[in-house]
Amino acid sequence: MREAVVQKRPPAAPILIVLVLGFSSMCAALMQSLVIPIQPELPRLLSTDPSNSAWVVTATLLAGGVAMPVAGRLADIRGRKPVLVASALLMLAGSIICALSSSLVPVLVGRVLQGFAMGYIPVAISFVRETVPMSMRNSAVAGISATLGVGGALGLPLAAWIAEDYDWHVLFWVASALAAAMVVLTVVVVPYYPTADDSRFDPIGALGLAVGVVAVLGGSSKGSDWGWASPATLGAVIGGVIVLVAWGFYETRHPDPLVDLRTTARRPILLTNIAAVLIGFGMMAQSIVVPQLLQLPESTGYGLGQSMLRAGLWMAPAGLMMLLFTPVSSRMLTRFGGRVTLAVGAAVIAIGYLSAAAFAAEPWQLLVATCIACAGVGIGYAAMPTLIMENCPANEAGSGVGVNALMRSMGTTIAGAVMALVLTSRLADLGGDVKVPAEEMFQLCFLLGAGAAVAGALVVLLIPRTPASAEVEAPSDASVGELAAVR
């Protein structure tokens, strides 16, 4: 039987702890976009073909999707700090391996380890519950959640600048330095709170989840390359779904499941996770569509002719917008609760994409549209973990936030596949056998992003109303004793 996390008095310097957790989460998130600027050069740099080199990006996303719920569950039963330190060490090891390598296989190994470091983020968010006073909790959750977007956005211009002026290995030496800082700061600043949870880790459940998630997300992300009707794509996606269904049956019968599906099936948590898929889909549109539109040549009549570095700089303010909206998210969470805050965030995302669909003739117009959309992402990303933690027991907070993060990842992966399919469905001929997506396909992608965000807002409004301060508290010491006696 699972028991409560031992509650400790808030540490003397909670602000410092939150800053360390936020900085480290941002560094972990940065790994997602670290190699995107050099992706076209990877076949040459790694002496391989484009299909194989694409896994350098995909492997990190898949590893992150698996790591987040697994790390969350480990943190629930082993304590938050050990998992945070282990995640930072994995990022350090992966970064060093990539920095020392020039061939595909070791770089893939390093990128998988960097992806595992994404497990730091949901654990850091759930750690707020037992570390930060109630008066700071919403601000802390909003700030750490915002770093997920900030890290990805800042990674683009930083990586583009390094790739243009230095050897590509410098990217990973910088990542190594950031990972080393994560390790030291987490060890020195973050306190260790033991848990009173005597559950055992579920390795079979972790393996089943990993196989199912990797198959579904891998097949979805590679569908454009393999062909959507190809045996490889259909086998991966259908096989992954079958594995996940079998995994679900196994988890409901396990005494200490990796993910408590009964808790996950509660209406507020279930609807929040469905909304996470839709809002994750909506968020990804800008990351795929805007860079391409910025870098297309002006001769197309709708391309904006920006270099790789300038495109990254045009997108960087949108990432910072998420951080700037942290106090707004905090106030909304305190006053209105997670339900209304998440619905408003999704609506703002939709407004941003509709603006991009209507006005994209100049880089500054796209900048304004992406800033609006990212303001909505910042609000929504703060509200989702808050809704999860309001509706699950404290000893399942890490697992719950991790599953929610996985749902967002599934939304972004599905978006990547859908956007790629849309953009390649109608091409404009530039001459010389060069073809690029037609203008109306970019507009359709923005409209799809807006539609997904609106759908997410509608799903959120189906969540039952709860007080802004509501939270599922851990059992008291007396009740734990009674439960133990009964057991």
Same domain, 354 and 265: yes
Q: Of 211, 227, 253, at which residue does a domain stop?
A: 253
477, 321 contact by CB (below 8 A): no
Same domain, 196 and 344: yes
Q: What is the pLDDT of residue 349?
A: 92
Residue 2: inside a domain, yes or no? Answer: no
Residue that is written with structure tokens 């196994």 in the block: 250
Q: What is the pLDDT of residue 229?
A: 81
Sign of CA dihedral 181, 182, 183, 188: positive
Give residues with Cβ within 8 angstroms of 137, minimum separation 6. Answer: 128, 129
Same domain, 216 and 198: no
355, 163 contact by CB (below 8 A): no
Q: What is the pLDDT of residue 91?
A: 95
pLDDT in tens, the chain (487 residues): 444 444 444 455 888 888 899 899 989 988 877 887 777 788 888 888 877 887 888 888 888 888 888 888 888 888 889 999 999 999 999 999 999 998 889 999 999 999 999 889 889 988 887 777 777 777 888 778 777 767 766 777 777 777 777 788 898 999 999 999 999 999 999 888 877 666 788 889 889 888 988 888 888 777 777 777 888 888 988 998 999 899 888 888 888 888 888 888 888 888 888 888 888 887 777 777 888 888 888 877 888 888 777 877 887 787 778 778 878 888 888 888 888 888 999 999 999 999 988 888 888 888 899 889 888 888 887 788 888 887 877 777 777 888 888 888 788 778 877 887 788 778 777 766 677 788 888 889 899 989 999 999 999 888 887 654 444 444 333 333 333 333 3
**How far is Cα 131 from Cα 12, in angstroms, rounded to an integer?**
10
Same domain, 296 and 198: yes
Q: Coil, helix or strand for 49? A: coil
Same domain, 330 and 300: yes
Residue 9: inside a domain, yes or no? Answer: no
Q: What is the pLDDT of residue 487?
A: 36
Residue 440: inside a domain, yes or no? Answer: yes
Same domain, 84 and 136: yes
Residue 6: inside a domain, yes or no? Answer: no
Beta bridge partners of 437: 427
Residue 8: inside a domain, yes or no? Answer: no
Same domain, 374 and 261: yes
**How far is Cα 379 from Cα 332, in angstroms, rounded to an integer?**
9
Same domain, 300 and 408: yes
Which residue, 61, 48, 60, 152, is CA-closest to 108?
60
Q: Of 191, 223, 253, at which residue does a domain stop?
A: 253
> Residue 363 maps to which CATH number?
1.20.1250.20
Domain extent, residue 403, equals: 14-202+254-486
Same domain, 72 and 216: no
Determine the Cα angle at 256 with ends 258 and 118, to 5°.
25
Residue 60: inside a domain, yes or no? Answer: yes
Cα–chain center distance at 304: 29
Residue 321: inside a domain, yes or no? Answer: yes
**How far is Cα 435 from Cα 437, in angstroms, rounded to an integer?**
7
Same domain, 131 and 279: yes
**How far is Cα 214 from Cα 406, in angstroms, rounded to an integer?**
11
**How far is Cα 196 from Cα 5, in angstroms, rounded to an integer?**
5
Determine the Cα angle at 371 with ends 381 and 463, to 5°.
30
Same domain, 104 and 242: no
Q: In total, how many domains does the chain have?
A: 2
399, 78 contact by CB (below 8 A): no
Kindly report each contact of residues 236-239 with a partner whose C-beta sits within 8 Å and lies 24 or more positions away, as own/partner.
239/215
Q: What is the pLDDT of residue 182?
A: 95
**How far is Cα 217 from Cα 55, in angstroms, rounded to an integer?**
12
Residue 7: inside a domain, yes or no? Answer: no
Measured CA to CA in angstroms, residue 124 lies from 68, 101, 432 at distances of 11, 31, 51
Q: What is the pLDDT of residue 188?
A: 92
Q: What is the pLDDT of residue 475?
A: 38
Q: Of 253, 285, 316, at which residue does a domain stop?
A: 253
Same domain, 246 and 355: no
